[in-house]
Structure 1
Amino acid sequence: MPECQNCGAFVTQAYARVFTPNGMDRPRVCPHCEDLVRDGAGVRKARSTRNN
């Protein structure tokens, strides 16, 4: 089961397939990582907060 590299939360295979770069098997951030977004090869603090 894939896990988020940042928080360790479970993500589905479909989420990992869509949001993980080629050659990687775990996403860098997930929906559970509040205020973090993918930025190129890294992760950065979001410029605005997420509204759920």
Structure 2
Amino acid sequence: MPHCRNCESFVSDQYVRVFAPDGMDTVRVCPYCEDKLREGAEVREARSPRHSG
């Protein structure tokens, strides 16, 4: 089962097929990663918080 490389959360095979770069078997950032965004080939901090609370 694939896991996010950043936070180790479970991600589905379908999520990996859609969001992982070609040739990777997992994602670098997932919806559970607070304040992280994919930008091209990199992962960066969000300019504004994605989650409040």
Query: Over the residues paired in the alignment, what is the CA RMSD in angstroms?
Result: 1.4
Specify every segment of 5 or more residues in structure 2 that has no aligned partner in the other structure, as ranges.
none
TM-score, normalising length from structure 2? 0.86
- Structure 1 distance, partners of 2:3, 2:31, is 12
Identity %: 60
Matched, 1:47 2:43: no
Gaps of 5+ in 1: none
Q: Tell me how many residue pairs correspond in the alignment.
A: 52
TM-score after normalising by structure 1: 0.87
The one-letter amino acid paired with 1:11 is V
